[in-house]
Amino acid sequence: MKAAFRTAAGLAALISTTAQAAEPACFTRAEVNSLIAYALPVVMDPMIASCRPHLASDAYLLSGGQRISEVLAARKDTEWKAAKAAVMRVWGGSKELDMPDNVLQASLNEKVTKELAGKLKASECKDISAIAAKLSPLSPDQLVDLAGEIIVVAVRDRKSKAGAMICQAN
């Protein structure tokens, strides 16, 4: 589970590698959702691959989790545009972001895959699969909304970079 959080944090850190210090701008709820909608399949695919050896063949993550990832991945071009625009607006431009989108996306995928490969323990995979199964009545869009809400609430009132990054009015 920690690895998943590390990956999400790494994804944000990668995009902001050369970004300027935090501007007063912040991510709106819609932008947070776009970032999550793009990032979820990027994280889930290597997570599923990493967990496959630890899980029973009928584990929810390997079937339902894969379906959710596929649904979100099918619209990754739209989500990418919105997510990148949000990052550019809040953190400003950088040399890395000036790369062609396909190169930047491939770089992100590679780094996330490297971060997750073989690092998830069996217990973490079972927890992730169990939580995903309990959330299975939610649609992919509802999952994205819920994840966004959890992030917004988690960072609210925090006197940290993460707290400043998410608009308090969300």
Partner 1 sequence: MRALALTLSLISLASSQAAMAADAACLAPREATAVASYALPSVIAGTSQRCSPVLGKDAYLTREGMKLSARYGPGKAAAWPAAKAALLKMGGAGDMTDAVRKLPDATVQPLVDGLVTSMVVEQMPTDRCSSIDRALWLLSPLPPENTAELIALSLGLMAQGKNPRIGRIAICKG
Torsion angle, alpha carbons of 101, 12, 113, 80, to 10? -30
Q: Find the binder of partner 1 among 70, 142, 158, 168 (CB under 8 A).
A: 142
Between 52 and 134, CB nearer to partner 1: 134
Q: Does 122 bind partner 1 (CB under 8 A)?
A: no
Q: Does 30 bind partner 1 (CB under 8 A)?
A: no
Q: Find the binder of partner 1 among 13, 30, 153, 162 (CB under 8 A).
A: 153
The stretch near partner 1 (CB under 8 A) out of 10-18, 39-47, 48-56, 151-159 is: 151-159
Residues 6+ apart with CB under 8 A from 138: 146
- Residue 17 CA: distances (Å) to CA of 11, 22, 97: 10, 12, 10
Q: Does 145 bind partner 1 (CB under 8 A)?
A: yes
Q: Does 131 bind partner 1 (CB under 8 A)?
A: yes
Contact indicator for 56, 125 with CB cutoff of 8 Å: no
- Residue 100 CA: distances (Å) to CA of 34, 81, 96, 97, 158: 19, 12, 9, 8, 35
Q: Does 138 bind partner 1 (CB under 8 A)?
A: yes
Other Cβ atoms less than 10 A from the Cβ of 83: the count is 23
Q: Does 127 bind partner 1 (CB under 8 A)?
A: yes
- Residues lying near partner 1 in the complex (CB under 8 A) are found at 1, 127, 130-131, 134-135, 137-138, 142, 145-146, 149, 152-153, 156
